[in-house]
């Protein structure tokens, strides 16, 4: 049917989200294909123009580091949404909640517990203490409800047979939630008939969930409405739009380091009425920029004295310091074991098969197959520094080999996952493009998973790199409200 | 609200007003020359530069005072803060800094204005249809102001934004009037009348003037309307009164009472001012005194509301 005249679509090798192996629409995509087939090409073009106009007018843009041509680019959202059936999502949701619960237990164990996971041999001590994300100064700082990672972004991919796997954890300052909300609003305006034909689980309550999570880590005696601020590195950060967006939705002030002052181990904001006390800081600056007095004397981005206030328990910080130790790619292979250790459960969402290059046997095996594997620097994020074996030149692989031998702790190698593909409009035609998914998980008094998340699309044909900083696009992601009617 | 945000809002207001007023001034100058003809073109453009106190800056970039050079300098030249493009750019940049305080409609209006001014072919459009161009800038700025008025809650963010506009407008009106300060003699001189017509037009006051005083133009009446009228929304007195109201409603500010007193004193002086006496004693000096007074009040608003708390330099790092 899909190879019909109106809407030709040829699936790619691997798992396709929307069609089965015979290129027939999966049941939960049937209505979508019907609606898309009704759009004549000129109409499609005009909707794409409308979409661009909406994003540009709203100023929904992002900066690309190292790109000197334009400071901002308009957010790229494909008009074909991704659809996840309710039953499928139910499993993913439980898997995400489980994982974040275990990771927070691990963090609490490391920073305020007895490091039992190390003692009991689940994770090697040297990997923890040598992690870039391990913050010695955070040892002993308590966080209410153990919500050390209060906002997590867990990157998922689907392999060749459609199994959801965790590609990486983002536990420091994951971004993208604003695009989830803006994609939803924009698509409903551009493709109203399409949205109307589905029962989509809403996401617009995100800010109120985030606010209650944030307020749940306020110091105890601060009354019923603790003052929350959002701490941003400033307007030149690539995620500034999101920082402002969240502050506006939370009803919180968007502050920079220079707007905050610490006196007597209390944090204050400089306001037009003088200094006013701050109870919770939702920070979107890196650990090393939190308190220049402790971490980086040269930095203007942080708040001198903030560490003292944290130690005194006079302010809540989300995410708390040192979450990076748990999303270190060298710790990642141990997460299924951590889930078993802390929760006595099997991991619902499997990892991607990973080689620990600091283990001599595994290193040997991996080095022999570099051209088939994906090599990732453990400390980087955003797709930077990744070497994809099958697509790399001999020269690139040789450089990679040398770097691994020079510092094995700095790399992991993974089996190449044939990311699932999804119909995507490319020059007015539906073509398969590879996608991933970044769902967002909130911790606090309880764990809450936002339905769906940010689907990222690798726009060049055959590419697996979905990061927006590397030219990726995005899709509105729908979780259906109930089992779809066949 | 955060001191830094208050400052950004204040300057968003100032830059917006500056862009609008500059567009008004250029528009009427351009068309005044088309219709008038009696006064020399070069002189009129020089007067524009004088009014904005930008003569020196202009001469550092251009040799001759021509319509093209002055327009290029005041419209699209972003190498200084006073051109329309730079003002809108800064208003938008300041607005972006306080995005979470602006309603989405206000931000959209501001952002679209900026994008429109940046679109390709603006220089050609300005050259071909200057009036269309200026009219659009003006109506764009009014759209932003309207979106603000209709969507911003009457809280501090709104007040600082409005204060910025009012202060800039009051100062600009003084500047405009000073260029060819009204004198008691020479009322009937044709050129003078033409000039005042242009001036009234620049601040959208021609109709108000006609309704109140009839068609006969005299400097005393122009002064009466543009400086001392409590009803006309672009008059200096009107702006000061409105600013006084907003300042009075602002919460906090350690030195706020003294800023309010200074503003009230200026407002009261204008209220009891007699135009005849003003002209007799020399309107030029009086206008410059008023302008300086307004500039000082703006500085005191900044010191009072935007520079709170210990400065980072004085903060002693805590050791752990």
Whether B96 contacts chain A with CB within 8 A: yes
Mutation target for B interface from A59, A268, A275: give the one with most B CBs within 10 A: A59
Pair of tokens at residue A56: 């540009």
Q: Closest chain B residue to A269 measured between Cα atoms? A: B2
Do residue B99 and residue A248 have CB atoms under 8 angstroms apart?
yes
* Residues above pLDDT 90, as percent of chain A: 72
Give the pLDDT confidence of A185-197 residue by residue, as tens digits: 999 999 999 999 9
Whole-number Å distance between alpha carbons of A328 and A332: 6
pLDDT score of A239: 84
- The answer to whether A283 and A290 are in contact (CB under 8 A) is yes
- The answer to whether A421 and A16 are in contact (CB under 8 A) is yes
pLDDT score of A446: 94
Q: Closest chain A residue to B310 measured between Cα atoms? A: A261
- Cα of B143 to nearest chain A Cα, Å: 14
Pair of tokens at residue A291: 């308190």
Determine the average pLDDT of the residues in A253-269: 93
Determine the average pLDDT of the residues in B107-133: 89
Pair of tokens at residue A417: 């996952």
* pLDDT greater than 90 at residue B182: no
A228: β partners? A280
Q: Which of A435, A355, A433, A383 is nearest to A156 (CA)?
A: A435
Whole-number Å distance between alpha carbons of B209 and B190: 18
Give the pLDDT confidence of A149-176 residue by residue, as tens digits: 999 999 999 999 999 999 999 999 999 9
A240: β partners? none
Residues in B touching A273 (Cβ below 8 Å):
251-253, 308
Q: Which of A93, A280, A286 is nearest to A171 (CA)?
A: A286
- Cα of B207 to nearest chain A Cα, Å: 35
pLDDT score of A299: 66
The chain A residues in contact with chain B (CB within 8 A) are 56-59, 137, 235, 241, 244-245, 247-248, 252-256, 258-259, 261-263, 265, 268-275, 293-294, 304-305, 307-308, 311
Residues in B touching A312 (Cβ below 8 Å):
none
* pLDDT greater than 90 at residue A99: yes
Give the pLDDT confidence of A385-424 residue by residue, as tens digits: 889 999 899 999 999 999 999 999 889 999 999 899 999 9
Whole-number Å distance between alpha carbons of B102 and B96: 9
Phi (first) and psi of residue B79, to 5 degrees:
-80, -5
Whether B320 contacts chain A with CB within 8 A: yes
Place of tokens 């350690």: B254
- Cα of B38 to nearest chain A Cα, Å: 45
Longest CA span, chain A: 72
* pLDDT greater than 60 at residue B115: yes
Whole-number Å distance between alpha carbons of A325 and A171: 9
* pLDDT greater than 80 at residue A228: yes
Residues in B touching A301 (Cβ below 8 Å):
none
Determine the average pLDDT of the residues in A210-236: 90
Give the pLDDT confidence of A65-76 residue by residue, as tens digits: 555 444 456 788
Between these two residues, B192 and A316, which has the higher pLDDT value?
A: A316
Instruction: Name the residue facing A308 among B108, B306, B318 (closest C-beta).
Output: B318
Whether B103 contacts chain A with CB within 8 A: no
Determine the average pLDDT of the residues in B243-259: 83
Q: Closest chain A residue to B92 measured between Cα atoms? A: A59
Does pTM surpass 0.95?
A: no
CB proximity under 8 Å: B 230-259 to A: 250-254
* pLDDT greater than 90 at residue A274: no
Q: Which of the 8 DSSP states describes residue B87?
A: H
Instruction: Name the residue facing A259 among B2, B107, B115 (closest C-beta).
Output: B2
Instruction: Name the residue facing A247 among B96, B100, B318 (closest C-beta).
Output: B100
Residues in A touching B4 (Cβ below 8 Å):
256, 258-259, 270
pLDDT score of A3: 45
pLDDT score of A70: 47
Give the pLDDT confidence of B149-161 residue by residue, as tens digits: 999 999 999 999 9
Whether B3 contacts chain A with CB within 8 A: yes
Give the pLDDT confidence of B56-101 residue by residue, as tens digits: 999 999 988 888 899 999 999 988 888 999 999 999 989 988 888 8
Give the pLDDT confidence of A330-368 residue by residue, as tens digits: 999 999 999 999 999 999 999 999 999 989 999 999 999
* pLDDT greater than 80 at residue B39: no
- Cα of B204 to nearest chain A Cα, Å: 30
Whether B121 contacts chain A with CB within 8 A: no
**Continuous H helices in chain B:** 3-35, 41-51, 55-59, 67-75, 84-97, 104-118, 122-128, 130-151, 156-179, 190-202, 206-213, 219-223, 236-249, 256-271, 275-281, 283-301
Q: Closest chain A residue to B107 measured between Cα atoms? A: A58
E strand or H helix at A94: helix A86-111
pLDDT score of A407: 92
Do residue B318 and residue A262 have CB atoms under 8 angstroms apart?
yes
* pLDDT greater than 60 at residue B268: yes
CA A192, chain centre distance (Å): 28
pLDDT score of A13: 81
Do residue A272 and residue B312 have CB atoms under 8 angstroms apart?
no
Do residue A275 and residue B305 have CB atoms under 8 angstroms apart?
no
pLDDT score of B146: 96
> In sequence order, what are the residues at sequence separation of 6 or more whose Cβ sits closer than 8 angstroms to the Cβ of residue B32?
B44, B194, B195, B197, B198, B201
Give the pLDDT confidence of A375-386 residue by residue, as tens digits: 999 877 666 788
pLDDT score of A382: 64
Q: Which of the 8 DSSP states describes residue B318?
A: P
Q: Report whether the peptide linkage leading into residue A319 is cis, meaning its omega lies within 30 degrees of zero.
A: yes
Among A56-70, A204-218, A359-373, whose mean pLDDT is lowest? A56-70
Do residue B252 and residue A137 have CB atoms under 8 angstroms apart?
no
Give the pLDDT confidence of A107-147 residue by residue, as tens digits: 999 999 999 999 999 999 999 999 989 999 999 999 999 99
Instruction: Name the residue facing A275 among B93, B251, B309 (closest C-beta).
Output: B309
Whole-number Å distance between alpha carbons of B191 and B217: 12
pLDDT score of B184: 57
Do residue A254 and residue B100 have CB atoms under 8 angstroms apart?
yes
Pair of tokens at residue A55: 């994003």
Determine the average pLDDT of the residues in A34-44: 90
A-to-B residue pairs, Cβ atoms closer than 8 angstroms = 101
Q: Closest chain B residue to A254 measured between Cα atoms? A: B100
């Amino acid at each position: 049917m899909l190879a019909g005249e109106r809407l030709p679509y040829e699936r790619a090798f691997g798992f396709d989200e929307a069609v089965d192996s015979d290129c027939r629409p999966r049941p939960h995509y049937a209505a979508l294909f019907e609606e898309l087939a009704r759009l004549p090409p000129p109409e499609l073009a005009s909707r794409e123009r409308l979409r661009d106009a909406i994003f540009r007018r709203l100023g929904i843009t992002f900066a690309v580091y190292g790109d000197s041509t334009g400071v901002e680019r308009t957010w790229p959202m494909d008009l074909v949404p991704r659809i996840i059936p309710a039953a499928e999502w139910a499993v993913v949701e439980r898997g995400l909640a489980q994982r974040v619960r275990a990771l927070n237990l691990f963090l609490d164990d490391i920073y305020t517990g007895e490091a039992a996971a190390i003692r009991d041999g689940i994770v090697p001590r040297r990997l923890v203490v040598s992690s870039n994300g391990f913050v010695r100064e955070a040892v002993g700082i308590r966080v209410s409800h153990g919500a050390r990672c209060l906002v997590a972004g867990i990157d998922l991919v689907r392999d060749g047979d459609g199994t959801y796997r965790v590609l990486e954890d983002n536990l420091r300052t994951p971004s993208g939630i604003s695009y989830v909300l803006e994609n939803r609003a924009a698509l409903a305006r551009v493709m109203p008939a399409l949205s109307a034909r589905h029962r989509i689980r809403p996401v617009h309550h995100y800010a109120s969930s985030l606010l209650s999570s944030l307020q749940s880590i306020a110091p105890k005696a601060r009354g019923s409405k603790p003052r929350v601020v959002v701490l941003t590195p400033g307007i030149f950060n690539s995620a500034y739009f999101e920082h402002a967006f969240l502050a506006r939705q939370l009803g919180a002030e968007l502050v920079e380091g220079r707007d905050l002052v610490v006196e007597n181990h209390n944090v204050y904001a400089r306001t037009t009425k003088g200094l006013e006390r701050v109870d919770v800081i939702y920070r979107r600056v890196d650990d090393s920029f939190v308190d220049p007095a402790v971490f980086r004397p040269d930095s203007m981005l942080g708040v001198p004295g903030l560490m003292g206030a944290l130690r005194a328990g006079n302010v809540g910080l989300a995410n708390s310091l040192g979450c990076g130790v748990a999303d270190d790619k060298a710790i990642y292979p141990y997460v299924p074991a951590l889930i078993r250790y802390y929760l006595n459960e099997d991991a619902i969402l499997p990892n991607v098969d990973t080689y620990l290059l600091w283990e001599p046997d595994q290193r040997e095996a991996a080095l022999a197959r570099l051209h088939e594997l994906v090599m990732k620097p453990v400390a980087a994020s955003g797709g930077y520094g990744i070497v994809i074996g099958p697509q790399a030149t001999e020269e690139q692989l040789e450089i990679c080999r040398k770097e691994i031998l020079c510092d094995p702790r700095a790399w992991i190698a993974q089996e190449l996952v044939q990311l699932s593909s999804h119909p995507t409009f490319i020059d007015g035609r539906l073509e398969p493009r590879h996608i991933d998914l970044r769902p967002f998980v909130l911790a606090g008094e309880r764990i809450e998973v936002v339905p769906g998340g940010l689907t990222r699309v690798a726009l060049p044909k055959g590419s697996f790199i979905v990061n927006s900083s590397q030219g990726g696009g995005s899709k509105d992601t729908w979780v259906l409200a109930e089992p779809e009617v066949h | 609200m955060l001191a830094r945000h208050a400052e950004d809002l204040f300057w968003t207001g100032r830059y917006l007003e500056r862009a609008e007023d500059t567009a008004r001034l250029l528009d009427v100058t351009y068309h005044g020359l088309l219709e008038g003809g009696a006064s020399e073109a070069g002189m009129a453009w020089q007067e524009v530069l004088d009014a904005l106190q930008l003569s020196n800056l202009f001469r550092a970039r251009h040799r001759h005072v021509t319509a093209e050079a002055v327009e290029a300098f005041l419209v699209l030249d972003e190498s200084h803060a006073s051109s329309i493009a730079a003002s809108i750019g800064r208003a938008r940049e300041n607005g972006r800094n306080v995005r979470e305080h602006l309603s989405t409609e206000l931000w959209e209006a501001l952002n679209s204005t900026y994008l429109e001014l940046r679109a390709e072919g603006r220089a050609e459009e300005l050259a071909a249809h200057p009036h269309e161009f200026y009219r659009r800038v003006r109506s764009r700025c009014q759209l932003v102001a309207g979106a603000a008025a209709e969507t911003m809650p009457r809280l501090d963010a709104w007040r600082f934004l409005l204060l910025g506009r009012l202060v800039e407008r009051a100062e600009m009106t003084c500047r405009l009037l000073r260029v060819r300060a009204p004198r008691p003699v020479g009322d009937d001189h044709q050129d003078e009348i033409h000039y005042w017509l242009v001036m009234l037009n620049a601040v959208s006051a021609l109709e108000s003037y006609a309704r109140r005083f009839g068609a006969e133009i005299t400097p005393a009446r122009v002064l009466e309307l543009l400086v001392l009228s409590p009803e006309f929304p672009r008059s200096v007195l009107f702006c000061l009164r409105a600013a006084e109201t907003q300042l009075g409603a602002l919460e906090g500010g350690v030195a706020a009472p003294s800023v309010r007193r200074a503003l009230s004193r200026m407002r009261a002086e204008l209220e009891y001012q007699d135009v005849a006496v003003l002209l007799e004693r020399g309107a030029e000096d009086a206008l410059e005194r008023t302008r300086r007074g307004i500039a000082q009040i703006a500085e005191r608003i900044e010191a009072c509301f935007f520079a709170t708390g210990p400065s980072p330099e004085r903060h002693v790092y805590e050791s752990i």
